[in-house]
């Protein structure tokens, strides 16, 4: 199978050809033309952790062609799961050309275990890619991406989600790069000894000296610095430290949704000068402010019930179900995803936008964006709002390609530098 018709490498390198006047094209035609010329480069997909949690990484009999039948439920409903969001058929329908697969492991793991588990996730991802050589190919460079697209295959890259994956070791950082990881999200949900997370108590006032050396070493070797999940102060410290563009692999705009995982305008303004991108995500609680407030209210109600009915989980569950029935979750939408893109364009510019769906890392996505087949619907919505074909090509792939090439150029310029070595015994 092929994900899309073979593309000439020259088409991917050169600027897009002049399109017909927008008035002569429907939004669907504009979106289709953009995605044909520049298939989606998505910043974050969590299939690897699905392989671990559902199948214990035993995948020799796993069929990635079609995963729509992977929904599960036991008799009590305590282990119910929606079907996976991702498979080869739906990737092809979604016009995905390049995917960053997240080799995420839990931030609650001790560092040594996190390092081992990350290597296991790199292994299972590589094995999955190798099982489908007609559709997927491991990509390590921007040139690899272009070659894969020219062959009609999906370029598969890997990103680590959380600095716990390197166990506070620059040596491990270098070795994970050699194993194929091409970005690292600096933190996940928990603050590290050297970097503060957006969703945990700050302990470092952003980045420590060692944390800054981690970022400098990432620039030196060519690994992208991903600032999704980090605190606002860590974002600013990172932008003060790096010499290459940064990415936000799956975040949205905090001005539209106050979630700490989203990016404030002050950082978006700096992103333009840095040359980096924010890959707008589809997480409902990050898109819809109403959904964010609902989540907080539900958490508060659950805490209240647990205080009232200590040691009586059945009563808590029954009453929480009644609360859910009386207070349905507000729906997020394609329009809200487009609103976040509009806002990023207004603050940081069209060159600062990408897409990071977070499929298979969330239980459900907005209606209309249910799985990886639905990217074209978002691009049609953007075309309806007046985005040109050239704009859409930047969002879908070309901005990320520019960032990747710039990071590679920075690394090449630092090739004569010695690796960073943190002093033995220095505080981590």
Domain spans, the chain:
35-71+79-287+332-413, 289-330
**Are 145 and 397 a contacting pair, CB within 8 Å?**
no
pLDDT tens per residue across all 428 residues of the chain: 444 444 444 444 444 444 444 457 999 999 999 999 999 999 999 999 999 999 999 999 999 999 999 998 655 555 678 999 999 999 999 999 999 999 999 999 999 999 999 999 999 999 999 999 999 999 999 999 999 999 999 999 999 999 999 999 999 999 999 999 999 999 999 999 999 999 999 999 999 999 999 999 999 999 999 999 999 999 999 999 999 999 999 999 999 999 999 999 999 999 999 999 999 999 999 999 999 999 999 999 999 999 999 999 999 999 999 999 999 999 999 999 999 999 999 999 999 999 999 999 999 999 999 999 999 999 999 999 999 999 999 999 999 999 999 999 999 999 999 999 976 556 55
Query: What pLDDT, on a 0 to 100 scale, did the predictor assign at position 2?
Result: 43
Query: What pLDDT, on a 0 to 100 scale, did the predictor assign at position 11?
Result: 45
Query: What pLDDT, on a 0 to 100 scale, did the predictor assign at position 72?
Result: 87
Query: What pLDDT, on a 0 to 100 scale, did the predictor assign at position 75?
Result: 52
Q: Rounded distance, CA 298 to CA 295, Å?
A: 5
Query: What pLDDT, on a 0 to 100 scale, did the predictor assign at position 20?
Result: 46
Confirm whether 229 is a catalytic residue: yes
**Active-site annotation holder among 32, 42, 44, 393:** 44
**Active-site annotation holder among 42, 46, 111, 213:** 46
Confirm whether 161 is a catalytic residue: yes
CATH number for the region 35-71+79-287+332-413 comes to 3.20.20.140
Confirm whether 188 is a catalytic residue: yes
Which residues are registered as beta bridge partners of 225? 184, 246
Residue 350 is given by DSSP the state G
**Are 8 and 150 a contacting pair, CB within 8 Å?**
yes
Q: Rounded distance, CA 52 to CA 242, Å?
A: 33
**Active-site annotation holder among 85, 164, 188, 236:** 188
Query: Quick one: which H or E segment has residue 158?
Result: strand 154-161
Confirm whether 416 is a catalytic residue: no
Residue 331 is given by DSSP the state P
Of 80, 4, 418, 86, the C-alpha closest to 221 is: 418
Which residues are registered as beta bridge partners of 251? 280
Query: What pLDDT, on a 0 to 100 scale, did the predictor assign at position 195?
Result: 98
Instruction: Give 286-325 pLDDT, tens digit per residue.
Output: 999 999 999 999 999 999 999 999 999 999 999 999 999 9
In sequence order, what are the residues at sequence separation of 6 or more whose Cβ sits closer than 8 angstroms to the Cβ of residue 190? 107, 108, 164, 197, 199, 200
Strand pairing class (154-161; 246-251)? unpaired
The Cα-based distances of 313 to 54, 81, 223, 409 in angstroms read: 26, 22, 46, 57
Query: What pLDDT, on a 0 to 100 scale, did the predictor assign at position 423?
Result: 66
Q: Rounded distance, CA 11 to CA 9, Å?
A: 5
Query: What pLDDT, on a 0 to 100 scale, did the predictor assign at position 24?
Result: 73
**Active-site annotation holder among 42, 87, 111, 358:** 358
Q: Rounded distance, CA 1 to CA 363, Å?
A: 28
Q: Rounded distance, CA 342 to CA 339, Å?
A: 5
Which residues are registered as beta bridge partners of 359? 45
**Active-site annotation holder among 32, 161, 360, 393:** 161
222: left (phi over 0), alpha (psi -120 to 50) or beta: left
Task: Compute the residue count for the chain.
Answer: 428
* 3-class secondary structure, 413: helix
- Backbone dihedral angles phi then psi of residue 404, each to the nearest 5 degrees: -65, -45
Strand pairing class (154-161; 40-45)? unpaired
């Amino acid at each position: 199978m092929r994900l899309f018709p073979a593309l000439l490498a020259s088409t991917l390198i050169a600027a897009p050809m002049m399109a017909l006047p927008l008035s002569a094209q429907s939004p669907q035609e504009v979106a289709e033309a953009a995605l044909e010329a520049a298939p989606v480069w998505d910043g974050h997909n969590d299939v690897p952790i699905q392989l671990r949690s559902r199948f214990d990484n035993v995948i020799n009999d796993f069929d990635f062609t079609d995963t729509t039948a992977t929904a599960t439920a036991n008799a009590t409903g305590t282990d119910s799961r929606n079907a996976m969001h991702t498979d080869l058929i739906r990737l092809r329908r979604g016009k995905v050309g390049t995917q960053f697969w997240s080799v995420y492991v839990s931030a609650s793991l001790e560092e040594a275990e996190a390092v081992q588990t990350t290597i296991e996730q790199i292994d299972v991802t590589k094995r999955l890619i190798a099982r489908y050589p007609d559709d997927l190919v491991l990509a390590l460079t921007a040139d690899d991406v272009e070659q894969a697209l020219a062959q009609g295959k999906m370029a598969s890259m890997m990103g680590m989600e959380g600095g716990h994956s390197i166990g506070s070791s620059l040596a491990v950082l270098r070795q994970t790069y050699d194993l194929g990881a091409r970005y690292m999200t600096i933190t996940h949900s928990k603050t590290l000894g050297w970097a503060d997370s957006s969703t945990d108590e700050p302990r470092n006032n952003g980045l420590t000296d060692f944390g800054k050396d981690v970022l400098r070493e990432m620039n030196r070797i060519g690994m992208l610095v991903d600032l999704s999940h980090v605190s606002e102060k860590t974002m600013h410290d990172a932008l003060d430290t790096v010499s290459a563009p940064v990415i936000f692999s799956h975040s949205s705009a905090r001005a539209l949704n106050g979630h700490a995982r989203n990016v404030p305008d002050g950082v978006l303004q700096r992103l333009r000068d840095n040359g980096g991108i924010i890959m707008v995500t589809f997480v409902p609680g990050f898109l819809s402010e109403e959904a964010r407030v609902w989540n907080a209210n539900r958490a508060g109600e659950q805490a209240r019930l647990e205080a009232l009915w200590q040691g009586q989980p059945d009563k808590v569950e029954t009453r929480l179900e009644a609360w859910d029935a009386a207070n349905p979750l507000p729906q997020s939408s394609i329009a809200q995803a487009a609103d976040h893109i509009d806002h990023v364009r207004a603050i940081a510019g069209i060159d600062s936008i990408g897409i990071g769906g977070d499929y298979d890392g969330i239980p459900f996505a907005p209606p209309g964006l249910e799985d990886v087949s639905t990217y074209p619907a978002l691009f049609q919505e953007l075309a309806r709002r007046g985005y040109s074909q050239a704009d859409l090509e930047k969002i879908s792939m070309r901005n990320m390609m520019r960032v990747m090439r710039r990071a590679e150029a920075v690394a090449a310029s630092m090739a004569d530098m010695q690796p960073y070595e943190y002093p033995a015994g220095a505080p981590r």
